[in-house]
Amino acid sequence: MRKKSKWLALLLVLGLVLAACGDGEGGDTTTTAAGAEEPTTTAGEEEMTTTTAGEEEMAEIATDVGVDLEAQTITIGLLSDLSGPFAPLVQVINSGHEIYWANVNANGGINGLQVNLEVRDTGYVVDTHVQLYEELKSQVVAFGHSTGSPHTVAINPQLQADGILAIPLTWYSGWSDPAINANLVPHGVPYCIEAMNMIEYLTLEAPDATTIAIASSPGDYGEDSNAGARLAAEELGLEIVYDGTGLVNAADEATLAEVASGIAGSGAELVWVTTSPTPFGSIYGQALAAGFTGALWSGAGPTWNPALVGPDSPINEALASNFYVSAYYAPWGADSAGNQEVRELVEAAGAPPLDYYAEGVIEAKIMEQALRAAYDAGDMTQAGVLAAAKSLESVTFEGLAPDETYVGEPNDRVQRAQFISRPDPAGLADGTSTGVTLVESMYTSPIAEAYEFTETCFSLG
Amino acid sequence: MTGHFVVLAQEAAVSNEFAQTLVDGISFGAIYALLAMGFVIIFKSTSVINFAHGGLTGLGAFLVAAFVTVLDFPGRYLTVLPEWGQWTLNVLTALLAAALIGVILERVFLRPMVGEALFAVAIVTLGLDIVVRTITNDWIGTNPRPLGAPWGLNVVDLGWVRIAWSEIVQILVTVALLAAIALFLRSRTGVAMRATAFDQETARAQGINVGRIFSVAWAIGAFLAGVAGIFFSVFPRRATGVDQATAFIAFRAFPAVIIGGLDSIPGAVVGGFAVGIAEAAANTYLGLEFLGSGFPGIVGYLLMLVILLIRPYGLFGTPEIRRV
Amino acid sequence: MRGRPLLHTSYESDQALLNTTAKRVMLGIFILILVSIPFQVVPGLEFLGEEDWLRLLSTTAIFAIGALGLNILTGLAGQVSLGHSFFMGIGAYTAVWLGGPVGGPFIGLGLPIWIWLPAAGIVAALVGVAVGPTAVRVRGLYLAIVTLGLVFIGEYLFRNWNSLTGGAQVGRDFPRLQVRLWDEEAPLIDFTTSGSWFGLDLSGTAKSFFFLVLLAVGFTLLAKNLQRTRVGRAFMSIRDRDIAAEIMGVNEFAYKLLAFGISSFYAGIAGALLASFVSRVIPERWDLFLSVQFIAIILIGGAGTVTGTLLGSAFVVLLPRVVQNFTLWLQGVAAQGEGILSSIANVFVATSSNDFGLINTFAGVGPGLSVAQLNLVLYGLLIIGFLIFEPLGLYGIWLRVRNYWKGWPFTY
């Protein structure tokens, strides 16, 4: 016994020492930070570059954190949920980032600077998110994405104090509110406007509908989306016969049963449920078994997961008949230059076809534009990259997603266009599609168009 | 549970809410009864409080999903059988695999702890739960895995009550397993297990291979946990299959164990059904505004606290005789 | 006495907390190192002064306070409790009730820290004492499950009490670590923003580090002292043989209640500090896993010992970061491509989404544990490992090492 624990103790100490020594000294890979960063304000420093445009004088580029002109690297941080409720999406989004940046790097990088990613798994826990933000903020020049609304709200004051840019990986309408978004560049239609678009579209598909049931998870995601649903119902003259906003708790299936029976019992003709895919599947299945058919269902983008219409899923046929998939970007098989680019990149990397790579590519493109603009302005400090991002007038994605702009009035630049699809279980089963068929591209409903956006639809307080 | 139905215009009304609640409660209670029974069998035979029961539940359900949808073993070789026959065989194979893993876990992690303080052993199972649950969740992945149950979403509507086919199967299987366990406890190994539960040292002195009894107890516990896991991963609990949250259902079964008494197998069954019916009743009759959401989830624990105040060893547990 | 440190000639010197020179010297060095960390003067330990490590060390201090409480309850008094996170939550929400901003969407009274911090502990202690009678009626493993129930009931309460906690998944902001006299605009002492103390420039993180370490040291003293008082001895007698203790005149009921009360006090303070330090917490934070972390701390550190608890807190809080660094380092080695070490590392770690590895930080399309899952598995394995091989925990290992060197060159 004694011998065992002596060796155990030695091993532990060795392991701890090794690990502590490993702080930031990882080898040169495409995804780890390359050693410590030093502030370099250079005057008259010569750099050798490998850009296709020939040699360039990087003498006047100011840098502080995350950009190393000597090693020719830029470091971008990703605060991702790789093990929590949205892990399926975010894991693929991260792959999208990697694939896109690898391609950019192979084609000369940002004027010769290679972009590296520092990925951290927050597990969708707020304090881990804050902790990892603190850890990364002295290693990266900006955050390629920050997953989760309460999480991003938690680091927002610090982002402002530190003057760092972050792209939120959530579609909370607060990111378009100038009172909140000084350090954030949103993309894609916010939840509440998405709800308006989709519900109006549902009324086009079912013109005689007069009643709607809504439900959601608690928190910004669900509340923001349902705030939009309520606005839409008011504009369209729909009666809300069941309101389960904030009741869906993925960990407690009694709440799922409660919501399902509430929806089924209300007899609504339209249903809007915003949550994560697994509880949605349960709610839909239970309502279905209660005999609730004939209504049209939809929900915010992250509610959908192609696995819901997988070959063994008991609800695949039903979903195919009455569910409408909402998305912020075009699905895999869509016909556009942007999609073609994504397909080529992903196939070249040998990865399977999935819709979510597009999100990673979109985020990466925004960051790329910001970095290039910062480079052109000669200021690649954290503040410089932030200012560059906030001055982008037009970021285009060639059909993959609607164009974004970050200057101008909130009402003018808030995104209102989105994509609508129908589930495609047959295509998923035989591999010809990623589980959806696109029916509407760059769709904006009249009520969303007319909506006056001046502040966030739902305040987290 | 299928939830309660309010009388309304568009659909078939359930005329007897009380009966529906009862049916829901019994079918949900069946899952808890299975979990509680497995737990108590392990406790009685090995004196181990098994906090890893949740992990075993998730593991069992995952193995079933794997054997049915991915491996289709041994169903694919026995195409002479109808679909549901193949499915049943796959399920049984998966459950046997789960039982085997239970035996291995006991041998590796719990055998060295024989004779140690009960608290320490309980914490070892807590650590084991974390390990088993995390690795199982990693295999499950982020998408739920359907179990391909042959009865699908079908529901029997008797007018006064509504019961899903899966609930019928649940109750039948639970009753069958209860009978099987009762018979088993009269068999040679069963009697040996009862002897070991009563007094380990004396049983050993009588020539009973206590180590083998431990393995059998864990095998049975893991098997029952797996069955409970299956029923928890199909309609109407979850229409989509086993996912990373499946393992946590076992925590709702602990009150059932305590209510019945830690060392009473019939008590565990009674406790399981009691908690199931209590939850169903809370769902139907206590849907009050101020109670918020998720109240039925803690009803079991509240019931447990109340019963402990009256009978500190549970309804059927034997009071501990403590000597200085 | 020179050369005979274990020869005590008075009761006071025997009972002193630092009764050997070695202990005094070690404590002195430890305190010196602690104080110097933000200034990064100790060679080899400069990295500890960086912002994120300072945050980790501050979190260690907070967890240490909580763990000391659980140590008193479980290690000293022998009462198994899985409900520690519940009491931490109570402390945190008391703090925010008293210290949160007035008006606005949530409950708050705007009181200063010198009210809400002690109140957090006191209210949690009162709840602990209220829970006591039910807990005291049951013993051993029944108690573990009763306290387990507390966690779930607490989670339900916190999730639904929106006006206090902010509601499920959302949470709310917590009052910061700032000292005010009443409710002035500018705080008297501000532990969260950078500034200058006694001529030294310190960041906000460094300031809160000092504050939290100071609190942790204070609570450690209290806990260490408890062991040698009458109450502490009563606890230990209840842990060892409670019937015998009762016969000897130790009021089992009263002392068990006291144990719950004291440990809940510590938990409440720790909860309030944790929420304040992280600044925003969702109600789901106070879950079973948090309780398990504390159990892990006292078991890995060594149940019943204060030093062990401190070692355990450091171990458990720093483990994820250490594992992460280790994984990154392994990735670096694996990516180099040549050499035996590189190939071995490649088996263990994946270097990109398509590569295989037991640990897979890309956790996307390939198998393998993510870093978060690896942490969890290590927690579990460590709990199991320490209980099977070294029940005295890290403190036990330290004892063995110390005794080895004490008797060196003799083996026993």
Residue C357 confidence (pLDDT)? 63
Chain C residues inside the 8 Å CB shell of A249: 159, 168
Q: What is the pLDDT of residue B235?
A: 73
Lowest mean pLDDT: which of A58-67, A100-109, B304-313? Answer: A58-67
Q: Which CATH number applies to B17-310?
A: 1.10.3470
Asked if B113 and C388 come within 8 Å (Cβ–Cβ), the reply is: yes
CA angle B235, B239, B243 (to 5 degrees): 115
Most A CBs within 10 Å: which of C280, C331, C398, as the mutation test of the A interface?
A: C280
Chain A hits for B294, CB-CB cut-off 8 Å, are: 249, 252, 254-255
Greater pLDDT, A404 or C348: A404
Alpha-carbon gap: B41 to the closest alpha carbon of chain A (Å) = 27
Per-chain mean pLDDT for chain A: 82
pLDDT band at C351 (very low <50, low <70, confident <90, very high): low
The residue in chain B having the minimum alpha-carbon distance to the alpha carbon of residue A316 is: B240
A93 pLDDT exceeds 70? yes
Q: A60-189+337-413 sits in which CATH class?
A: alpha beta
**pLDDT beyond 60 at A51:** no
pLDDT band of A23, cuts 50, 70, 90 = very low
Quick check: B293 and A264 CB within 8 A? no
**pLDDT for C360:** 64
Q: What is the predicted pLDDT for the residue at A58?
A: 53
Q: Render pLDDT for B39-95 as a digit per residue (tens, 0 to 9).
A: 999 998 888 889 999 999 999 999 998 888 877 777 777 777 777 788 888 899 999
pTM over 0.90: no
CB atoms B251 and C152 under 8 Å: yes
Q: Where are the domains of chain B?
A: 17-310
Residues of A in contact with B242 (CB under 8 A): none
Site from A31, A160, A217 to mutate, C interface, most C CB atoms within 10 angstroms: A31
CB contact under 8 Å between B301 and C379, yes or no, is no
Decide if B116 and C145 are in contact by the 8 Å CB cutoff. Answer: no
C194-233: pLDDT as tens digits: 777 777 778 888 888 999 999 999 999 999 999 889 999 9
- Smallest Cα–Cα separation from C102: which of C93, C94, C111? C111
Query: Which of B143, B158, B165, B277 is most worth mutating to test chain A (most A CB atoms within 10 A of its CB)?
Result: B143
Question: Does residue B129 carry a pLDDT above 70?
Answer: yes
Q: Once rounded to an integer, what is the mean pLDDT over residues A311-340?
A: 88
Of A251, A254, A292, the CB nearest to B283: A254
Given this model, what pLDDT does residue C26 score?
85
d(CA C38, CA C32): 12
What kind and span of H or E run contains C190?
strand C189-190
**pLDDT tens digits along B184-210:** 988 998 899 888 888 888 988 999 998
* pLDDT for res C64: 96
C156-199 pLDDT tens trace? 999 888 889 887 777 788 888 888 888 777 888 888 777 777 77
Handedness of CA A362, A364, A369, A374 (dihedral sign): positive
pLDDT surpassing 70 at residue B247: yes
pLDDT value of residue C221: 92
Between A137-141, A356-360, A454-458, the lowest mean confidence (pLDDT) is in A454-458
Q: How far is B243 from chain A (nearest CA, A)?
A: 8
For the domain spanning A191-327+417-450, the CATH number is: 3.40.50.2300
Domain ranges of chain A: 60-189+337-413, 191-327+417-450
How far is A326 from A196, CA to CA, in rounded Å?
Answer: 11
* Chain B partners within 8 Å of A313 (Cβ): 146, 239-241
CB atoms within 10 A of CB B278: 22
Contact (CB<8Å) C299/B123: yes
Judging contacts by C-beta atoms under 8 Å, the chain A residues touching residue C152 are none
**Burial of A385 per CB tally in 10 Å (0-12, 13-18, 19+):** buried
Supply the pLDDT for residue C355.
59
Token pair in block for residue C3: 């050369």
Residue-wise pLDDT tens digits, A270-303: 999 999 888 898 899 888 877 888 899 999 888 9
Q: pLDDT: is C363 or A155 the higher one?
A: A155
Task: Say if CB B293 and CB B239 are below 8 A apart.
Answer: no
Neighbouring chains of B at 3+ CB pairs under 8 Å are A, C
Measured between CB atoms, does B140 come within 8 Å of chain C?
Answer: no
Chain C residue numbers with beta carbons less than 8 Å from the beta carbon of B122 are 80, 141, 144
Position A210 scores a pLDDT of 92
H or E element at residue A76: strand A73-80
Instruction: Tell me which amino acid residue C67 is.
Output: A
- State the residue for tokens 């305040």: A459
Highest-confidence segment of A149-158, A210-219, A244-253, C369-378? A210-219
- A-chain residues near C322 (CB < 8 A): 15-16, 19-20
| Band of residue B4 on the pLDDT scale cut at 50, 70, 90 | very low
Q: Where is pLDDT greater, at B324 or B220?
A: B220
Which band of pLDDT confidence, cut at 50, 70 and 90, is reported for residue C391? confident
pLDDT at res. C255: 93
- The type of residue at C179 is V
Contact A314 B8 (CB under 8 A): no
pLDDT at B108: 93
Q: C350 to chain A: which residues are within 8 Å by CB?
A: none
Domains A60-189+337-413 and A191-327+417-450 share a fold: yes
Chain centroid to CA A28: 28
Measured between alpha carbons, how far is C38 from B283 in angstroms, rounded to an integer?
54
The Cα of B205 is separated from the nearest Cα of chain A by a number of Å equal to: 28
Half-sphere exposure of residue C150, counting CA atoms within 13 Å on the CB side?
A: 25
Of C137, C142, C243, the CB nearest to B258: C142
Provide the chain A residues 8-47 that lie in CB contact (below 8 A) with chain C.
Answer: 8-9, 12, 15-16, 18-32
Which pLDDT belongs to residue A38?
A: 32
Task: Answer whether B156's CB lies under 8 Å from B236's CB.
Answer: no
More confident residue, A306 or A8: A306
- Best mutation target among A280, A284, A313 (most B Cβ atoms within 10 Å) is A313
Contacts of A350 in chain C (CB under 8 A): 354
Residue A395 phi/psi, 5-degree rounding, is -115, 120
**Which structure tokens are listed for C89?**
């939550």
C142, C143, C241, C252: best to mutate for the B interface, most B CBs within 10 A: C142
Q: Cα–Cα distance between C333 and A382 in angstroms, integer?
A: 30
DSSP per-residue letters across A9-24: HHHHHHHHHHHHHTTT
d(CA C86, CA B46) in angstroms, rounded, equals 30
Interface test with A, best of C53, C323, C329, C351 (most A CBs within 10 A): C329
pLDDT for B6 beyond 50: no
Residue C131: per-residue pLDDT: 86
Name all domains of chain C by residue range, CATH numbers in brackets: 47-304 (1.10.3470), 305-412 (no CATH)
φ, ψ at C51 (rounded to 5°): -50, -50
- With CA atoms as reference, the chain A residue closest to C376 would be A83
Contact B130/C247, CB-based, under 8 Å?
A: no
- Spell out which residues of chain C touch residue A92, defining contact as CB-CB under 8 Å: 364-365
This model of the complex carries an ipTM of 0.84
* DSSP-derived pairing of the beta strands A73-80 and A114-121: parallel
Phi then psi for B162, rounded to 5 degrees? -125, 125
Mean pLDDT of C304-311: 90
Nearest CA in chain A to C394: A9
Calculate what percentage of chain C has a pLDDT beyond 70: 93
Whether B153 contacts chain A with CB within 8 A: yes
> How confident is the model at residue C372, as a pLDDT?
74
pLDDT at residue A46 is higher than 70: no
Tokens at C106, concatenated: 């949530």
- C-chain CB neighbours of A152 within 8 Å are none
Range 239-258 of A in CB contact (< 8 A) with B: 246-247, 249-255, 257-258
**pLDDT tens digits, residue range B284-296?**
777 666 677 778 8
| CA angle in degrees (0–180, nearest 5) for A179-A82-B97 | 150
Q: Given CA atoms B73, B75, B77, B78 in this order, what sign does their dihedral have?
A: positive
Between A255, A266, A291, which is nearest B293 by CB? A255
Residue indicated by tokens 């392994």:
C330
pLDDT in tens, A423-447: 999 988 888 888 899 999 889 999 9
